[in-house]
Amino acid sequence: AAGVIQSPRHLIKEKRETATLKCYPIPRHDTVYWYQQGPGQDPQFLISFYEKMQSDKGSIPDRFSAQQFSDYHSELNMSSLELGDSALYFCASSLVWGWTGGGHTEAFFGQGTRLTVV
């Protein structure tokens, strides 16, 4: 079965550079979530999109932005990178129907992008 695809798997950037992480959800899934996991930490929610609209926002720095495109893939753009941005970045997708009273599938995670800022 198709899974969540993230690219690239590894990325090395210098301080103050920009990075773009991509996420391709499971086909027919309409919701995408982004998480950041620093070394030795638990995954922290950044932002989510439902049907291409931002649906929730967590502890995402102002230097980061994200969007979901018409084909439902999502991109996380990170600017002015800092050493502390070095982390694993996970994307997850799920199918949610009737956001306020329908149903949903569980969230499935990709294998992540390891970003190293030097």
Partner 1 sequence: DAKTTQPTSMDCAEGRAANLPCNHSTISGNEYVYWYRQIHSQGPQYIIHGLKNNETNEMASLIITEDRKSSTLILPHATLRDTAVYYCIVKGGQGGKLIFGQGTELSVKP
Q: Which of 66, 81, 87, 96 binds partner 1 (CB under 8 A)?
A: 96
- Asked if residue 82 binds partner 1 (CB under 8 A), the reply is no
- Asked if residue 40 binds partner 1 (CB under 8 A), the reply is no
- Asked if residue 100 binds partner 1 (CB under 8 A), the reply is yes
The secondary structure of the chain, three-state, reads CCCCEEECCEEEECCCCCEEEEEECCCCCCEEEEEEECCCCCCEEEEEEECCEEEEECCCCCCEEEEECCCCCEEEEECCCCHHHCEEEEEEEECEECCCCCEECCCEECCCEEEEEC
* Chain residues in the site for partner 1 (CB under 8 A): 4, 31, 33, 35, 42-45, 48, 50, 55-56, 58, 88, 90, 92, 94, 96, 98-104, 106-112, 114
